[in-house]
Copies of this chain bind each other. A is one copy, B any other.
Amino acid sequence: MIAGKWKPLILYFLLQGPNRYGALKRAVRCVSDKVLIQQLKELESDGVVLRTDHKEVPPRVDYTLTPLGRSLAEALEPLCIWGVENMDAVARVLADREAWKQGPSG
């Protein structure tokens, strides 16, 4: 349900309150429209996120967490905080892996 590079972050930001697509896109930096829309659709079909179209002109659509989504986001929050607090250690691990893949010539 949270497989997908951006889903934990999407849930983390939606925990802060209902969010318009544009605000989510700015919060979850470096994600493409195509991927963000796809992952929001998956979260919606999994019953984790609710998409509300307010039928206004100009169009107003926002995303909120369902009760299941809220409980999942709250369970994920410590992990997101851990990721921020240990960003250097994680970056070092990923760099070591990359160097290891390249082999001696790398």
Contacts and interface: CB of A to CB of B under 8 A. Distances in A.
A57 interface: no
A72 B93 contact: no
Given A47-B93, A90-B1, A93-B46, A72 B82 contact: yes
- Chain A: number of interface residues, binned into ranges: 20 to 34
Contacts of A74: 78
Nearest to A5: B3
B76 A79 contact: yes
A75 B71 contact: no
B68 A75 contact: no
A86 interface: yes
Nearest to A83: B75
A100 B45 CA distance: 10
